[in-house]
Structure 1
Amino acid sequence: MALRLSRVLRRSPARTILSHFSGSKALAQQPLLDTSSPDDKNLTFLFSHPNNLCLSRSYISEMRRSAFEGNIQRLLRNEIQYELERSIPDQPVQKYDEFTVDERPGEQWIRLSRKFGENEEIKVEVTMFDGALPVKRKGGVDTDDDVELHITMIVDIFKGDGNSVLEFVCSAWSSSIQIQKVFMRGHDRMTGHPYTGPIFKDLDDSLQDSLYDYLETRGINDDLAGFLHAYIKNKDKSEFIRWMGNVSDFIRPK
């Protein structure tokens, strides 16, 4: 019916339609459309009664909106199918070494937690990919895929019933972890502005090595970095597919 309506509007001179709505008795007795079909009768009703001008405009607007939303849904379905045909996301694992992994579905981060020793609790908050650096290949030729993806890790170590937390802010590359900051804070991160210590690389080399050993003893090591990159890559794909599905569901007429 949309095609028929557009053809009618193109064929009908503007003055004829305007005269019709102005109440011309002669034109009012002449149907604008061939009323041989029910659809044409509906359109004749819309255009032959001045009081229905707003209704006809609303009808056209609704048709355009429906076509626009239908196109968005079609594009989203195509993208979802494309992603699934490339590879289906794996089911997220819930354990890694001594860590319990919380996927945080629908969010941009995950959390790992574990106990260590008699009275330590360790929580690791991990972002999704939040940066990248170019990587030089042999021969000095770079491509769009020659990048090293970056993940931010925040390692919090709680001890017993104490009110202080030892916090490490780290960069997790695909095969290594780099400490950026080490500082003490309270349980409530929003309280005050704690001194976050000096730039880590400015510390004595022996002290830097000792702090790396401190983390490695607790399972925060280069192997964990490799696991996190594989996990976040899978989560990134899952969240993308979930996002497209949620948008499609919202746009779909109820």
Structure 2
Amino acid sequence: MSFRAAIRLAKNVPRVSRVSTTRLASASRPFARTMMMPQTRTFMSTPIKFDDRSKNVGEILKSEISVETEVETTDQEKSFQEFLDKYGFSVVESPGKNLAEIVRKTEEGEVVHVYFDVAQVANLPYDAAMAEASKESEDDQYNAYDENFANVNVVVVKEADQSAVSIELLMNLSEGAFYVDSVTPFPSADAALNESAEAEVKRELVYHGPPFSNLDEELQESLEAYLESRGITEELAGFVEGFSEYKENQEYIKWLKDMKNFFN
């Protein structure tokens, strides 16, 4: 759980929005025709100090920035770099984006791209008690883990002919494990990696093969071994989880600062 999430859990007193209450009240009244009466406009004798409201928001943002920047991240950054160096991955910088990418070249002449959504991973609910309770039955286990998966996409490109294969994975935080969801070959790297809306639609329409669990068991095992040889391991799962919390927090701090500049 991220530092910010821990603070949020401590502030668990429910608040009722005035706006929501007003809407609910008005929604409960039956529709009726009413005669519109002429109204006389009046002027406020004391002007509302809008600047005070803006300054109040700015002060709260300033306090939140102070809390978030107090967290020491040096050890985190060091552990990330150790993983990257061990497997030869490098981080593709993506400031202002939820999508993170790490990439490596293999001795076999391939380029391995790993994509994951840092906001999705950082906000996944994980409760050890929930995982323990899931042992009661298979149905309970499925329900407990149902919301504890994150999507991770691995695209491997052959440098020789630029053909590619996209492997959609589900990462389980409680187990630190990956499960293959689908495997899709593409004729070119561009078809697999192009980020345009048109390319995204085309990928959605491509046949992604049968459910992975329906494949021959030998084929399943060989594909899983292939992924592991390309760096898709439990260590990667740990990196994805930690890096997602770190990057999401950095983006949050930047968002706070941008907000503070407006309400300054």
Instruction: Find the counterpart in structure 2 of residue 159 from structure 1.
Output: 158
Counterpart residue type for residue 194 of structure 1: V
Question: For residues 64-91 of structure 1, what are the alpha-carbon distances to aligned partners after superposition, in whole Å with 9 as ceiling and x for unaligned?
Answer: 2211111111111122222234x23347
Aligned-partner SS, 1:243: helix
Match of 1:60 among 22, 34, 47: 47
Counterpart residue type for residue 258 of structure 2: N
Counterpart residue type for residue 88 of structure 1: E
Instruction: Find the counterpart in structure 2 of residue 115 from structure 1.
Output: 105
Q: Give the CA deviation at 1:154.
A: 1.0
Aligned-partner SS, 1:166: strand
Note closer, same or farther for the CA distance 1:72–1:149 as it changes in structure 2 (3 Å cut). Answer: farther
Aligned-partner SS, 1:136: helix
Q: Give the CA deviation at 1:133.
A: 5.9
Highest relative contact order (Cα 8 Å, sep 6+), 1 or 2? 2
* Segments of 4+ moved more than 6 angstroms: none
Is 1:247 aligned with 2:250? no
Q: Give the CA deviation at 1:165.
A: 1.5
Higher share of residues assigned strand = 1
Equivalent residue pairs, number = 190
User: Whose radius of gyration is greater, 1 or 2?
Assistant: 1
Question: For residues 115-157 of structure 1, what are the alpha-carbon distances to aligned partners after superposition, in whole Å with 9 as ceiling and x for unaligned?
Answer: 11242111111211424466333799xxxxx988543211111
Counterpart residue type for residue 98 of structure 2: Q
The 5 A counterparts of 1:229-244 are 229-244=241-256
Question: For residues 13-32 of structure 1, what are the alpha-carbon distances to aligned partners after superposition, in whole Å with 9 as ceiling and x for unaligned?
Answer: xxxxxxxxxxxxxxxxxxxx
Counterpart residue type for residue 205 of structure 1: E
Instruction: Find the counterpart in structure 1 of residue 191 from structure 2.
Output: 188
Aligned-partner SS, 2:209: coil
Q: Give the CA deviation at 1:100.
A: 0.8
Q: Distance in 1 between matches of 2:167 and 2:247?
A: 24
Question: For residues 30-88 of structure 1, what are the alpha-carbon distances to aligned partners after superposition, in whole Å with 9 as ceiling and x for unaligned?
Answer: xxxxxxxxxxxxxxxxxxxxxxxxxx97x935xx2211111111111122222234x23
**If the length of structure 2 is used for normalisation, what is the TM-score?**
0.62
Q: Give the CA deviation at 1:209.
A: 1.2
- Report % sequence identity: 26
Note closer, same or farther for the CA distance 1:139–1:166 as it changes in structure 2 (3 Å cut). Answer: closer
Higher share of residues assigned helix = 2
Counterpart residue type for residue 159 of structure 2: G
Runs of 5+ in structure 1 lacking a partner?
A: 1-55, 141-145
**If the length of structure 1 is used for normalisation, what is the TM-score?**
0.64
Q: Give the CA deviation at 1:169.
A: 0.8
Q: Distance in 1 between matches of 2:209 and 2:119?
A: 26
Q: Distance in 1 between matches of 2:56 and 2:156?
A: 50
What is the Cα-based RMSD across aligned positions, in Å?
3.1
Q: Give the CA deviation at 1:243.
A: 1.0
Runs of 5+ in structure 2 lacking a partner?
A: 1-42, 136-143, 193-198
Q: Give the CA deviation at 1:172.
A: 2.2
Contact 1:184 1:194 in 2 (8 A): no
